[in-house]
Structure 1
Amino acid sequence: MEQNHIDIYCERIGPDFWAEPLNAISNLGFIVSAALLILFLKRQKHTPDDDAAYWGLIALVFLIGIGSGLFHTLANRWAMWADIIPITLFIVGYSYLALRRFVGISIGLSLFGAAFVVALTAALPALTALRGSTYLPAVIGMFAVGLFLRVSDQPRAVANSILASGCIFALSLGFRTLDGPLCNILPNGTHFLWHFLNAIVLYILTRTMAQVTESQVRD
């Protein structure tokens, strides 16, 4: 382990590989979610029209688990990027697909919307000291899309799934934010709960995306 290891979580008490056991092991939730999504797709009589996009999301869910696992064990600079890159790609990809499939806007506007979400995600940490502010656009986006779908002609189940994901993600973000402030009370921190809940969120979001085909998009 490098001497200049990254120490930003409550559970880590040193540079050792297993210095964050709960934070590391909880990433198995993403691997399980990816496996369940594969089983779901295999059982579907009709696969999504854009099959490559769905498989891409599953691959990113898997890579999020791997990258985060590396970061919470190795805790170095390259492992941090292995954690950040798959998450960023999922946000970009899902934002585009959500705007295209759920909201039904054009490809160009969907690309612009996805780019705007990423730009806002990158800018927020510089504008506020609130830990976890990076993910506020994702929370707002889930509720915005979910509420839009509730008043549109999309199936109610799709809207409810997106809104449920938003609620779970908001709770998850709360645990991520409280990891430091509650460290004196909870020595293991709360970051591992962020992993478990996010694995559920990504499962729901990706499964919901598979249930909305391109034929349902309103051009």
Structure 2
Amino acid sequence: MDWMREIDGYCERLSPAYWAEPINAVTNLAFLVAAWVMWRRVRNQGLPLGNLLVALLAVIGVGSFLFHTHARVWAAMADTTPILLFILVYIFAVNRDIWLLSPLKAVGLTALFFPYAAVTVPIFQQVPGLGGSAAYAPVPLLILIYAFLLRNRRPQVAFGLSIGAVILIASIIFRALDMPLCGRVPLGTHFMWHILNATMLGWMIEVYRRAMAEEVSRAGAAPHKTHS
């Protein structure tokens, strides 16, 4: 693999220069802002996975900034790898802490994301206009599947997940429209992917935080058994 190969895949980029995508680069601050907000909400809550998700959210912003400035293969890996890690950690967190599966079962179910993606990505690639965004399309579908399955057991969590899926769908639409609308929108629309995606990822951490707080509240409210 040629790690230094240049990548030109966005409307805003008109040259290989470092600042050829200023809007796409600067809007990655949204990820750092979202990470800072969620760090303040998650810290001292006894949620190691929540803290890990916040850290990954910040790394996503840094990786995306590197990609939209350097625009090379290595930077693309720095962009996409933290996103994949966030998805896997979040699925594991839901499996273990909301479905209350054992860690081993939670890991096994999380690993199913890879065959799930292998099956669904080619299907979404057949959708006209999605283009490279087809790689992300299975994610909101998976979130909606989890929301549907949790609708009776944890309705508030299901509702929160559904909101996250809707935001992500809107984000993917803006990402997909970047090149098709390039003639009419010179800056492109990819920057909205950053803003909405940062909002969505921060919201998903909040959904997890609230779900865990609800668990603590339930445990505290549970009646204590007395022994005769």
Normalization by structure 2: what TM-score? 0.83
Q: In structure 2, what is the Cα distance between the partners aligned to 1:168 and 1:68?
A: 19
Identity %: 34
The structure, 1 or 2, with the larger RCO (C-alpha pairs under 8 Å, 6+ apart) is 1
User: What's the counterpart of residue 120 of structure 1?
Assistant: 116
User: What's the counterpart of residue 28 of structure 2?
Assistant: 27
Q: In structure 2, what is the Cα distance between the partners aligned to 1:25 and 1:59?
A: 19
User: What's the counterpart of residue 221 of structure 2?
Assistant: none
User: What's the counterpart of residue 219 of structure 2?
Assistant: none
Q: Unaligned stretches of 5+ in structure 2?
A: 217-228
- Asked if 2 retains the 8 angstrom alpha-carbon contact of 1:117 and 1:137, the reply is no
The C-alpha deviation readout for 1:162-190, integer Å capped at 9, x for no partner, is 11111110111111111111111111111
Map 1:33-72 → 2, pairs under 5 A: 33-42=34-43, 47-48=45-46, 51-72=47-68
How far residue 122 of structure 1 moved from its aligned partner, in angstroms, is 5.2
Taking a change above 3 Å as real, the CA distance of residues 123 and 5 of structure 1, as seen in their structure-2 partners, is farther
How far residue 134 of structure 1 moved from its aligned partner, in angstroms, is 1.1
How far residue 18 of structure 1 moved from its aligned partner, in angstroms, is 0.9
The farther-off stretch of 118-127 and 60-69 is: 118-127
User: What's the counterpart of residue 175 of structure 1?
Assistant: 174
Taking a change above 3 Å as real, the CA distance of residues 174 and 77 of structure 1, as seen in their structure-2 partners, is same
- Asked if 1 retains the 8 angstrom alpha-carbon contact of 2:12 and 2:20, the reply is yes
Q: In structure 2, what is the Cα distance between the partners aligned to 1:66 and 1:125?
A: 26
Aligned Cα root-mean-square deviation (Å): 2.3
Q: Unaligned stretches of 5+ in structure 1?
A: none
Amino acid at match of 1:19: A
How far residue 123 of structure 1 moved from its aligned partner, in angstroms, is 5.8
How far residue 100 of structure 1 moved from its aligned partner, in angstroms, is 2.3
Taking a change above 3 Å as real, the CA distance of residues 184 and 122 of structure 1, as seen in their structure-2 partners, is farther
Question: What secondary structure does 1:186 align onto?
Answer: coil
- Asked if 2 retains the 8 angstrom alpha-carbon contact of 1:122 and 1:134, the reply is no
Normalization by structure 1: what TM-score? 0.86
- Asked if 1 retains the 8 angstrom alpha-carbon contact of 2:121 and 2:137, the reply is no
Map 1:144-163 → 2, pairs under 5 A: 144-152=145-153, 154=154, 156-163=155-162
Question: What secondary structure does 1:12 align onto?
Answer: coil
Work out which of the two has the higher radius of gyration on C-alpha atoms and give 1 or 2. Answer: 2
